[in-house]
Amino acid sequence: IDGRPVNAFVGALPESQLRAFIDALLPNPSEIERRKALELLASGQTDAAISALRAALALNPANDPARWDLADALIAQASGGTATAATPLLDEARGLLDGVARTAQAEPRHRALSTRLNSMTLAADLPQRETLQERIAAHPADLQARLDLANLLISRGDYEPALEQLLEIAGRDRSFGDDIGRRTVLSVFELMAAQPERVAAYRRRLAALLNR
């Protein structure tokens, strides 16, 4: 399914067992709605995709991939609107992520979406980018200013300059914020999944920094 093996068997099965095996792998109604939504997202029909994802969750509230897809779409929509319009979208996205099964909350995609959501929530109360840059220029060891700048950049989808700040934090003090520099770097890698070459380059930098 989607290019990945999900189940297998060895040897031959009677026809009845083989049919049951295949039936168990066929998409359920909730997954069918989710797949329709992904096609709509790919064609730029965001509003229709959001409706389809809400329908998928109405059919199966435990469909965590649909929760992530819907949260992702809402966060993306919120990033292009005003603060007033963004608030209900971000609130809904937070509710979706909170509803993901506890065992799935350790998944990289969940952590990445939580990082983007938290950054967008924090951004409303953060100083302007220029102000934070001036603070860092005056006091390079101001790790809180670096973290605030990284969160502001993440909220805007400017991931590479955010990574520069996060790597600086991780390099200066691993204990700051319970190693928040390194932990946030890993979440940003997931947000940049569509840029594997850039992620690989930053992974090498992170590894070199941590092993020096």
Give the C-alpha distances (Å, rounded to integers) separating 87 from 79, 84, 91, 132, 192: 10, 6, 6, 24, 24
Give the C-alpha distances (Å, rounded to integers) separating 50 from 33, 39, 71, 77, 112: 10, 11, 9, 10, 20
State the amino acid at position 45 in one-letter form. Answer: Q
Alpha-carbon distance of 26 to 32, in angstroms, equals 9
Comparing CA positions, the residue from 174, 154, 176 lying closest to residue 164 is 154
Q: Classify residue 28 by its DSSP letter.
A: P
Helices (H), 43-194: 46-59, 64-79, 83-98, 108-123, 129-138, 143-155, 159-172, 180-191
Mean pLDDT in runs of 10 for the chain (212 residues)?
A: 84 91 85 95 95 96 96 91 79 96 93 94 91 97 97 94 97 95 95 93 95 84
Residue 31 CB coordination number (10 Å): 17
Would you state the structure tokens that stand for residue 102, as one six-digit string? 């506890």
The C-alpha R_g of the chain, in whole angstroms, comes to: 21
Q: Are 34 and 63 contacting, i.e. CB atoms less than 8 angstroms apart?
A: yes
Residue 16 is predicted with a pLDDT of 92
Give the C-alpha distances (Å, rounded to integers) separating 83 from 87, 90, 162, 179: 6, 10, 21, 30
Q: Classify residue 102 by its DSSP letter.
A: G
pTM score of the predicted model: 0.76
Residue 53 is predicted with a pLDDT of 97
Residue 83 is predicted with a pLDDT of 63
Residue 81 is predicted with a pLDDT of 66
Q: Are 108 and 123 contacting, i.e. CB atoms less than 8 angstroms apart?
A: no
Q: What are phi and psi of 65, to 5 degrees?
A: -60, -35
Would you state the structure tokens that stand for residue 22, as one six-digit string? 């295949």
